[in-house]
Amino acid sequence: MKILCLNCGSSSVKYSLFDWDKKIALAAGVVERVGLTGSFVAHEVPDKEKVTVKQDCPSHKEAIKLVIDTLTSPLHGVIKDLKGISAVGHRVVHGGEKFVKSVLIDDNVLSVFRELSALAPLHNPPNILGIEAARELMPAIRHIAIMDTAWHQTMPASSYLYALPYSWYEKYGIRRYGFHGTSFLYVAKRAAVLLGRDPFSVNLVICHIGNGASVNVVKNGLSYDTSMGFTPLEGLVMGTRAGDHDPAIGLFVMEKEGLKAREMDSILNKKSGILGITGKFTDRRDVETAAAGGDARAALAMEIEAYRIKKYIGAYSAAVGGIDAVVFTAGVGEKGAITRAQALGGLETLGINLDENKNALSTTRNAETIISADNSRVKIFVIPTDEERVFVEDVAGLLKGDYDVHAKFHYSFQDIGYRNAMRDKAFEKECGKKPGLEKIAARPVGKLVR
């Protein structure tokens, strides 16, 4: 059984092909600049050199056709033809309240996604374009949607409702939805393994920190609250998103500068956050370099971002009556030692004690590491996320007929002996170049309780 995973953005199509029977990734890549000039695909096959193929892709249909052609290419491909693909898993950012788990796509499901586009105007439309193109190009293959919002459907009403006119929720579905759910699901299950605990007996604060960023508090293995809200704008300071702020500010500036709602939306989502503070940076590596060189606004941006993360960790720890672990994941969470140190500093009264040396060593995306001090009551893990693994297992479960909501479905990465061969191999190479890195690799504690 071979499963193709597609993640369609506004100008890109990320993909991976997984052999479920052999439990190995066959290929992965991304088509960049979809709808723009200079489109190309960057294609990778394990143990081979990365290949770049330039080809114009004026729409998602051409981009997905390029993915198919690349995967079946006599030169670069890994399958003979489309008969080698059993199903396609599609990332869909917003499933609203309609879906609590991944679902087989049909015309009715696609119609619901279109209705939900108003809730995620930057994400659902390209997701839908990708689904439509893939169904047209691969009509004999089953297509399955994996939604970022599904994981958060366990939140209680006290977490997801805003103190706004209740009729807005009834008429327009205005509530907290949360995002990054596929990442949180994977990381929560892995954290339970590392703690040697049943996944539904742990309380966690998970920090998914990338260009987009959010925090999720997990109570007894289920999403209890999360920082992103009705849209991905709320919560943490992000690369270009403002995160939490007084909503009256937007109204004030709109009146002062004569801006329309769409213009203000663009400013808050695309010109704020780290970019808004620094005036020129979104990549945290650039911010760190500038701050080290004396750029005061870059240093300030780092402080503001870390302080917001710290506040959420503290608030969410209190919300669930204490936590077993803090977990960092995604690009900055996995490699941003400075951001982690700033965010965790001063949380010792909550039982959160960072080991600075371990934290400085942990800049790998190929292994789970533990960076808490030996005397820390709350463990601190860095767990590289693997959203595509969730995609694959949801699709495989649906095809086999045993899939259900995550509380009733067993993922292979919940097993104490689960390993990612590709990451293990890459980590081994890293350890040869970075003395001490292997010593902070996190291992399951004892025998996993089920």
Tell me, what's the pLDDT at 117?
82
Query: CA-CA distance, 281 to 289, in Å (whole number)?
Result: 11
C-alpha atoms less than 13 angstroms from C-alpha of 226 in its C-beta half-sphere: 33
Q: Which of 217, 229, 84 is nearest to 169 (CA)?
A: 229
Statement: 2-147 belongs to CATH 3.40.50.11310: no
339's tokens: 């951001």
pLDDT tens digit string along 382-413?
Answer: 999 999 999 999 999 999 999 999 999 999 99
Q: Do domains 2-147 and 181-382 have the same CATH topology?
A: yes
Cα–Cα distances in angstroms (integers) from residue 402 to residues 142, 188, 198, 397, in the given order: 16, 21, 21, 5
pTM of the model: 0.93
- Phi and psi torsions of 40, nearest 5°: -160, 160
- For 374-449, where are the E strands, in sequence order? 379-382
Question: Number of H helices and number of E strands within the chain?
Answer: 16, 14
Furthest C-alpha separation in the chain: 63
State the catalytic residue, choosing from 148, 295, 324, 355: 148
335's tokens: 């490699």
| DSSP H or E segment with residue 298 | helix 296-319
Q: Which of 273, 220, 223 is nearest to 245 (CA)?
A: 273
Amino acid letter at 343? A
pLDDT tens digit string along 430-449?
Answer: 999 998 999 999 988 765 44
Active site (annotated) includes residue 19: no
Tell me, what's the pLDDT at 448?
47
pLDDT-based confidence at 196, cuts 50/70/90?
very high
431's tokens: 């350890």
Cα–Cα distances in angstroms (integers) from residue 324 to residues 199, 219, 390, 397, 424, in the given order: 12, 10, 23, 30, 26
pLDDT tens digit string along 103-113?
Answer: 999 999 999 99
Classify residue 387 as exposed, middle or buried by CB count within 10 Å of its CB (0-12, 13-18, 19+). Answer: buried
Superfamily of domain 181-382 in CATH is ATPase, nucleotide binding domain (3.30.420.40)
Amino acid letter at 131? I
pLDDT tens digit string along 318-360?
Answer: 999 999 999 999 999 999 999 999 999 999 999 999 999 999 9
Would you give the distance in Å from CA 344 to the centre of its chain? 21
Query: What string of DSSP letters covers 26-83?
Result: EEEEEEESTTSSS-EEEEE-TTS--EEEE---SSHHHHHHHHHHHHT-TTT-SSSSGG
Domain ranges of the chain: 2-147, 181-382
Tell me, what's the pLDDT at 49?
87
Strand partners, 441: 369
Query: CA-CA distance, 10 to 366, in Å (whole number)?
Result: 28
